Structure 1
Amino acid sequence: MASDRNDNPADDADNGVLEGPVGAETTGIGIVGGATAQVDVTLPAHADDDDDLVDDDVVGGDIVGGDATLGASRAYTAEPASALPAAPAPDAASAIAVPDADHAERVRPRTSEITLQSRRLGDFDADRESSDLLTPDRLLDPAHVVRPEPEGTWQNLVYRLSGRRINLGDGRRAQARKALDRRIAAPLAGGARFVPVLSRKGGVGKTTVTTLLGMALADAREDRIIAVDANPDRGTLAERIGRPSGKTVRDLIRARDDVHGFNDISQIVARDHTRLDVLASEADPHISEAFSDADYEDVAEIAAHFYSVVLTDTGTGIVHSVMSATLERADTLVIVAGLSVDEARLASETLTWLETNGYADRVRSAVVVLNAARPGAALVRAEELEAHFRSRVRAVVRMPYDPHIAAGSAIAFRDLQPETREAARQLAATVVEGLRTQAAA
């Protein structure tokens, strides 16, 4: 039998059902037939449409994203009419009505996996936990945690129009960003991990890559990250951050017997705004003694006690004694290659040297960074370089040219171009995944 509402179109207005799609400024949400709450929500016509605020516009009350106007409807099941309080019929302005809070809670997806953040335990015993491990993610039941405000233009619009009761979740870009954050912040069990950054040729961006990798790790992780300038002569790692401490590796080596807590080492390292700690190399031209393998061992022993990840900005001399000490402690390697024929060959020859000198397993788990240190199109075909190195190492990451880096001054992570930040974060996630895979093997 046909319903009365279908037989009498005039009843539609009385039941709070609009005649057709409406714009964002007149979006209607009403109770239909006492059993279903219909919400007119515009959705992307294609999965690839952008949903971020910077790329989308609201035109004439319709949300326009990518190359198509969003148009669709989504219905939510509500309580029967008998369970809801009586409400007067809406007037011509069609005031917005929303499902109750219990309904909004029912449509939220349940989170079955709780991710724990990794923190350094400091001086605690291996079988004891510190208070830092009592995190909300670990202790709170996800079923009772209120979901945060969604990110994304139309998701946020629905959230606000519904009086903050309908939470459709984040947009595509926000989901991708948060997923990358989780990859970078994945816990690392066990002791400190050592990650040297190598290059046999100067000027290809080895120090820059060390800085970007350290900033991306420190910005997303909860534990401590340090980058050590192990250049045997004079390195420039400390000049790439805006808060130098004036202290160097020599100061830490002299004070190693007096370092009893993190406060002692924090007086020597420099800290970036992302919370990356940097230990500078000696810059005094009157110092005649180069940084040696014994010096590196002293620094590494202290760093391993207070930090979870220790990055090492190495020099170009691969046969120097400090390089041997660095490679012995390495858990995974990052090799930097420039976008020219000679720079690419030197990087490939570095892999060969490592393979023939007992580090073949490190080569297989290494990451190669193809760094564009100069503006404009590269003279070599980057895809051919990538194919070559992928045949030898675990992963290849491309680092684009960035004028903020090319200036040669301190690097502010937030001031980098979005493509550069994304590449640095991809590198950080790739390194962490390699460390976790190695630990599980």
Structure 2
Amino acid sequence: MTEGGDWQRDVLRELADTPAAPASTSPPMPPAPVDPRLPSPPPQPASPTRPVPRGTRDPRLPLTTPESVPTVDPRLAHALGRPQHGDSLTQRTGRSLRRLTTSAGQDVAEQTHLATELQRPVTTGRIIAVTSIRGGVGKSTVSALLGRTFNHYRHDPVLTLEADAALGTLPVRMGAESVRWSCADLAQILTPAMQLTDVTGYLVPVADGGWLLPAGQGRVGAPMDVRTYRTVTLALRRYFAVTVVDCESLPGDVARTAMDTAHARVVVAPMTAEGVNGTRQVLNWLAQLPHAALASTAVALSASSPDTTLDEKTAAAHLREAGVAVVSLPYDRHLAQGGPIHTVMLGQATRDAAVRLAAEAMHRAVRVR
């Protein structure tokens, strides 16, 4: 794929089946005669069930295929319960009535603008890194929302990559029932000769479109290192228009590397006074980086409780002083429930906020670099 050519057309062409080789016009060669006095040749070993991509490694070297591991223990799967709507029945009914009595012209114009931002053409893959000052503030949830939003609006390949600790929740939030290949596994076999169809054989397909690459198999183990992260992201960005990276929390080494090298950044800030204050310190650090890191950063101000007492306008204004866009993610019952995210079950305000946040990130990823 050349950077000056039609990058999207090249990628989509690789998704199509490889055409069969043309039949030869020469007559077939007759089989060689077999001497009955010679011993029979030894049986050939059966070919592996998993095809090895072209040019990935010496086939004589053993390759241990990891086993598929469920993202949620089957004994706990029933404990998730039925997913509930982010909006109550009263809210959904009231919204339907308002649509019948108000003009939709302004909403259509805004949605058209956001869709244009989300569908911006790219010549090379864009990486959007998502992080936070600490765990448990909704970083993986925001990453999953961004991944699903890009999958919905874009027609080229989108990847959601987990670069968090081994026990991250991104695969569950993306709706993956099981995981097999991890970033560390893929880093050992990626080569420039691989095509998109080779790469996607190691990824988890997402129900709404796109692919997922987990950091591990849900077991306690060594966290991802910077070398693995660089190897995987540099190799995969040529196949995917957008890669959303769910990073570890700051100040981890991988998170710092991702924030320094990504095309756009999303910092998830909890809607608390200490959370906003700590996020402002992260923004001050980004402002000191040698390139325009702050100009390509957006903040997701996330509410994890319906009883948040912090004044949202004051918190957003404090963060905007650093020169970043701020998008508020309201409390959503569906997200608070945990488990897989079903887009149709999200509250309307949550869906709108996810689209705005994705548009802000994409605008910065294309504009700044």
CA distance in 2, matches of 1:298, 1:392: 32
Say whether 1:230 aligns with 2:163.
yes
In the alignment, is residue 365 of structure 1 matched against residue 296 of structure 2?
yes
Shift of 1:128: 5.7
Equivalent of 1:316 in 246, 249, 273 = 249
Give 1:192's aligned residue. 125
The 8 Å contact of residues 210 and 312 in structure 1, kept in 2 or not, is answered as yes
Task: Describe how 1:181-220 pairs up with structure 2 within 5 A.
Answer: 181-188=115-122, 190-220=123-153
The SS at the match of 1:213 is helix
Change (3 A) 1:371 1:286: closer
Distance 1:331 1:414, change over 3 A: same
Alpha carbons of structure 1 residues 205 and 350: separation in structure 2 relative to 1, 3 Å: same
Whether contact under 8 Å (2:270, 2:301) holds in the other structure is: yes
| CA contact 1:225–1:309 (8 Å) conserved in 2 | yes
- Measure the CA separation in 2 of the matches of 1:327 and 1:245: 28
The answer to whether the 8 Å contact 2:11/2:239 transfers is no
Aligned to 1:427: 357
Give how far 1:381 is off: 0.5
TM-superposed deviation, 1:284: 4.9
- Asked if 1:384 is matched to 2:304, the reply is no
The one-letter code sitting in structure 2 at the alignment partner of 1:364 is A
Return 5+ residue gaps in structure 2 as ranges: 13-96, 98-103
The one-letter code of the counterpart of 1:413 is T
**1:94-115 CA deviation, whole Å, 9 max, x = no partner?**
xxxxxxxxxxxxxxxxxxxxxx
Indicate if the aligned counterparts of 2:192 and 2:235 stay in contact, CA closer than 8 A.
Answer: no
Secondary structure, in 3 states, of the residue corresponding to 1:305? coil
Q: 1:341 to 1:259 in 2, by over 3 A?
A: farther
Identify the structure with bigger relative contact order (alpha carbons < 8 Å, sequence gap 6+).
Answer: 2
Which of 278, 287, 305 aligns to 1:346? It is 278
CA distance in 2, matches of 1:316, 1:129: 33
Of the three residues 201, 210, 214, the one matched with 1:276 is 210
CA spacing shift, 1:352–1:171, aligned 2, 3 Å: closer
Q: CA RMSD in A?
A: 2.9
Q: How many correspondences in the alignment?
A: 281
Change (3 A) 1:286 1:405: closer
Q: Which runs of 4+ in 1 moved over 4 A?
A: 128-134
On the 8 A contact 1:244/1:270 being kept in 2, the answer is no
Percent same amino acid at aligned positions? 25
The answer for the alignment partner of 2:4 in structure 1 is: 126
Match of 1:250 in 2: 184
Structure 2 distance, partners of 1:332, 1:129, is: 20
Gaps of 5+ in 1: 1-122, 135-152, 154-169
8 Å CA contact retained: 1:367, 1:393: no
The 1:240/1:284 distance shift into structure 2, 3 A limit, reads closer
The two structures have a TM-score, normalised by structure 2, of 0.69
Q: Which amino acid is 1:398 matched to?
A: S
Residue 266 of structure 1 is aligned with which of 196, 200, 203? 200
Residue in structure 1 matching 2:268, options 336, 339, 358: 336
Give the Å deviation of 1:387. Answer: 0.6
1:56 match:
none
Q: Distance in 2 between matches of 1:352 and 1:171?
A: 39
* Distance of 1:284 and 1:234 partners within structure 2: 5
1:379-414 residue CA offsets vs partner (Å, 9 max, x unmatched): 111100111111113311011111111111000122
Give the drift of 1:296. Answer: 0.3
1:306 to 227, 231, 239: 239
In structure 2, relative to structure 1, the CA distance for the partners of 1:174 and 1:286 (3 Å cut) is: closer
Q: In 2, Cα distance between the equivalents of 1:130 and 1:316?
A: 32
**Conserved? CA contact 1:232–1:322, under 8 Å:** no
Match of residue 57 from structure 2: none
Change (3 A) 1:237 1:370: same
CA separation in 1, counterparts of 2:192 and 2:119?
A: 32
The structure with the larger Rg is 1
- Mapped to 1, the partners of 2:131 and 2:7 lie a distance apart of 36
Report the Cα distance in structure 1 between the residues aligned to 2:231 and 2:250, rounded to whole angstroms: 20
